Amino acid sequence: MGTKIGVGLLGLGTVGAGVVKILRSPQGRHPLVQELELARVAVRDLGRPRPVTIPLDQLTTDPKAVVDDPAVQVVVEVIGGIEPARSLIMRAVAAGKSVVTANKAVIARHGEEITAAAATAGVYVLTEAAVGGGIPIIEPLKQFLGANRIQRVSGIINATTNYILSRMAQDEIAYDAVLEEAQAYGYAELDPSADVNGLDAADKIAILAGLAFGGSIDRASVSTVGISNLQRCDVDYAGRLGYNIKLLSTAERTAQEPNLNMKISQPLAVYVCPTLIPKNHLLADVNGVNNAILVEGEPIGQLMFHGPGAGAGPTASAIVGDILNIASICRLHNNRLSYLPTVSNWQNCHLVQQEKIQQRNYIRIQTHHNHDVAERVSNILNNQGVPIQSVTRFDTANSNDGDTEIIIISHKVSRQQISTALRSIKALREVTCLAAHLNCL
């Protein structure tokens, strides 16, 4: 067996503490867990109470000291945020150390630079915990699904918003109260606006798109709408019409046929938005902290990955799995890291303009007028070439006499077409307010 493999931990928050707990109780797990040794831990504040106790001589407030420590062979980065996380990862790689990180923000923006540096240094930077918490999705996309021509990767990949939306659909509970619950469970980011505004999900879908389509994804171009403006009544109306609302992230080829000429850039639509999902769809019943990722390709068909998407235990499970992969290579091949398939881009991709994204739409209009409005709105949609699936009227619960809400569900059209139609609808005298416009599967 030989000497143990030293693990250096950057960050001891919810996830870092989860990793320590696994390393300290190896019984019943893969035998290699016993070969891992927590060597050094960087924290921001030595005095802060934590769920795990670390001997003082292993603790430091200087993360570089962990990276540079000769006893550390694998660096685990769970600080989050862009800097200093990115620089510390690059420093570890330059020192010939493999890195395991849960940092979606860094990987979505600097993944290419980091992967290139790791390839040059002959080390690994493994990122299973960055997307989907405990769900294995990164390595399956990298290693096991390469035989497929991927058409679409879509899913629920932010646990905080899924927890909020599930609770809102089930209980009469205020948005802020549910967000506090999600924070208390350790699901939310340090700044939870990254969750509720869809930025965390956008980082994750950019990472998945890069792996699925083999090209670098411009993170800044991912069209992103969060749930902060979502109204409870839309969750209710959607439910009555046979849908659940989820924060759905999608990356799909816009061309019908896959790109067979690798010299031509692959056009992709990559976006995050609150979406009505029919209750009989595979993704509709993914609730609470759970995430799910649906991979569609040829010849695999549809493949669904489902499980806990955040929290100490599930995220630590993914991190320790990555450490074990690195450890097994160190053991088997005398520290020569060359055996796991690594990712490098094999084609160019570009994101299509947001206006060209095709989607079905849920539109909610408020009106004081009971007559003709639905017909007028329908006429506008027809004239703009927007095919309508259904028009439903609801009397508002707390309305004055005569207040009505009209819900329209359209078939698929481009965002440009629907925006043009919505401008004309807004201009109608009878329309008090264009109250909601959501994506619809």
Where on the chain is the footprint of ligand HSE (CB under 6 A)?
Answer: 133, 158-160, 187-189, 195, 200, 309-310
Token reading at 376: 């007028």
Q: How far apart are CA 350 and CA 215, in angstroms?
A: 8
Q: Which is nearer to ligand HSE, 189 or 252 (CB)?
A: 189
Stated as kind and residue range, the H or E segment containing 64 is helix 63-68
Q: Which is nearer to ligand HSE, 127 or 160 (CB)?
A: 160
Smallest gap from Cβ 130 to ligand HSE, in A, equals 7
323 Cβ contact list (under 8 Å, min separation 6): 5, 7, 36, 74, 76, 100
Stated as kind and residue range, the H or E segment containing 327 is helix 312-332
Q: Which is nearer to ligand HSE, 188 or 440 (CB)?
A: 188
The percent helix, strand, coil of the chain (3-state, each to 5) is 35, 25, 35
Using CB atoms within 10 Å of the CB of residue 392, give its burial: 0 to 12 exposed, 13 to 18 middle, 19+ buried: middle
Amino acid at 46: L
Decide if 246 is catalytic: no
232 Cβ contact list (under 8 Å, min separation 6): 168, 175
Catalytic position from the list 97, 104, 142, 204: 204
Q: How far apart are the first and last CA of the chain?
A: 53
Q: Which is nearer to ligand HSE, 8 or 308 (CB)?
A: 308
Q: How far apart are CA 401 and CA 396, in angstroms?
A: 9
Smallest gap from Cβ 243 to ligand HSE, in A, equals 22
Q: Which residues pair with 248 in a beta bridge?
A: 273
Q: Which is nearer to ligand HSE, 129 or 431 (CB)?
A: 129
Q: Which is nearer to ligand HSE, 158 or 414 (CB)?
A: 158
Smallest gap from Cβ 245 to ligand HSE, in A, equals 17
Smallest gap from Cβ 433 to ligand HSE, in A, equals 31
Q: How far apart are CA 312 and CA 161, in angstroms?
A: 17
Smallest gap from Cβ 204 to ligand HSE, in A, equals 7
Please state, in angstroms and as integers, the Cα–Cα distance from residue 269 to each residue in 164, 205, 249, 256, 392, following that order. Answer: 26, 11, 11, 12, 30
Active site residues: 204
